[in-house]
Structure 1
Amino acid sequence: MKPLAGKRIVVTRPRGQAAPFIGKIEEAGGTAYAVPLIAFRPSQDRQEEAILAALHTYDWILFTSKNGVDFFMQKAGHLLHKIGAKWAAIGTQTARAAEAYGLSVSYMPGRFSAEDMAEEIRNGLFLPKKMLVPKSSMARSVIADTVRQSGGQADEWIVYETYFPADEKEHLLEVIRMEKIDMITFTSPSAVRHFMQILKQSQEPLPDTDYGVIGRVTKKEALSNGIRVAVCPAVFTIDALVEEMGQFYKE
């Protein structure tokens, strides 16, 4: 019998990024309900012109997500010939996205989180002199702050913003009210926040179901909202989450 046979699982990943996760749930015998609770759009950073003009001065450009890569390329792809920096990425998916644009990733931390990257900087494993971090409006500054504390220079460039796709509100409520859901999954703290926002606005109680998350920050956000996290893999990937979900239901 397949590990997720008969299980109904809600996937809150953004539209356009949910398909591989849904595919893996279905391969494992489960039924996936796609309810994207976050979406992305380009943002206009006040520093944009200055950063574009200074692209040739960075020795490292660090991507923390696939979105960071995509929105950076939208804004700066035409200037690649001016960039002499090396490329760094957090996580295999991010590195794959960069390499799809022909950017050769020279550094990736052993574990896939901002905290682990900061730890490697503090330990002297990664020491940029001047680094650029293209990021989301919601992203924290832990990596850039650590570079600065270690004597380097770090600029952060907000290339995209995260927002809640309002048309998904009724969809989510319908799924949690009408379907017998076994697990709701979150892969970002923003998705947790939007989920809680919908429940509060609709005076809907927190569904009495299992919850699976990726990442320490997502787990912390879930716990702070009273969500009991049943599954949170040590490796921050979709593959690890699906595998752990299978183990959870087997036990």
Structure 2
Amino acid sequence: MRPLTGKRVLITRAHPGAETLANRLTALGAEVVLAPTIAIEPIADPAPLFAQVARLTAADWVVITSPTAARLWALCTGTVTVPARLAAIGEATAAELRSQGLPVAFTGARATGAALASSLLSLGPTGRFLLPRSDKAVADLPIKLRSAGADVIECDLYRTVSRPWTADEVRAVGAGVDAVTVMSPSALDGLLSQPGVTLWLSRARLVAMGPTTASAVTARLGRPDAVADPPSIEALIASLCAVLGHTGG
């Protein structure tokens, strides 16, 4: 028997990206319910971002903190030559940057903003840090960099907005799920804003992607049933198999 046979798993991740996880879970026997709780909207006016990019030098860093930011950074900058070095918060983000043909000079060992800040600061004197990311990104990274005296420039690369479920999605989720995957604090906010969520959420196992999301879950709902750490699809799937009672096929 496949490890997730007979289990219904809710994916709250925004498109694109949700399909890859859905296909992996389906291959393991799960019945996947796709109901994104957030939507990603690229910034309407990239001029402020381009103005900051034009100021970058080889001594500076561009710090990318999610696969979504990696994809949109590549799309936004296109053929523009960016002399600064690229840093990725973790392996998943680094992999997305490389898939876009962008070299990664540094990858964080633990995918949290605070840990990445400590690692970057340990590299010694540097120039500016440009942080192109979501308008709702967690503030731990810039706070820690600035507390050490670093010159930090934050630029919105995209907006993260709550996405109301359609009537079909509400019915599909309301029929019951065995587990819920939460990929980010914003996805959690979107989940908790959905109608009727309190009627079924306490009966489902909640798996958080990474320690940052786990902290957000703990603050709102108590400790999650499992945390994918490091935050990767492989770790998330392993966590789902563990909490749903199967460890092998």
Task: Please confirm whether the aligned pair reaches a TM-score higher than 0.5, indicating the same fold.
Answer: yes
Matches within 5 A, 1:6-21: 6-21=6-21
Matches within 5 A, 1:24-63: 24-43=24-43, 44=45, 47-48=48-49, 50-56=51-57, 59-63=60-64
- For the structure 1 residues 19 and 150, does the alpha-carbon distance in structure 2 shift closer, same or farther, using more than 3 Å as the test? same
Compute the displacement of 1:174 (Å).
Answer: 0.7
Compute the displacement of 1:115 (Å).
Answer: 2.3
RMSD: 2.4
Compute the displacement of 1:12 (Å).
Answer: 0.8
Structure 1 length-normalised TM:
0.86
Unaligned runs of 5+ in 1: none
Question: Greater CA deviation, 71-80 or 233-242?
Answer: 71-80
Q: Aligned equivalents of 1:24 and 1:228: distance in 2?
A: 26
Aligned to 2:113: 114
Aligned to 2:155: 157
- For the structure 1 residues 144 and 103, does the alpha-carbon distance in structure 2 shift closer, same or farther, using more than 3 Å as the test? same
One-letter identity of the residue aligned with 1:133: L
Whether the aligned pair in 2 keeps the contact of 1:15 and 1:39 (CA below 8 Å) is: yes
- Secondary structure of 1:71's aligned partner: helix
Whether the aligned pair in 1 keeps the contact of 2:114 and 2:144 (CA below 8 Å) is: no
Matches within 5 A, 1:81-96: 83-96=82-95
Structure 2 length-normalised TM:
0.87
- For the structure 1 residues 147 and 228, does the alpha-carbon distance in structure 2 shift closer, same or farther, using more than 3 Å as the test? closer
Aligned to 1:75: 76
Unaligned runs of 5+ in 2: none
Q: Aligned equivalents of 1:2 and 1:126: distance in 2?
A: 49
- Secondary structure of 1:155's aligned partner: strand
Using the aligned pairs only, state the percent identity: 23
Matches within 5 A, 1:172-183: 172-178=169-175, 180-183=176-179
State the aligned residue count: 244
Question: Greater CA deviation, 51-60 or 136-145?
Answer: 51-60
Compute the displacement of 1:34 (Å).
Answer: 0.9
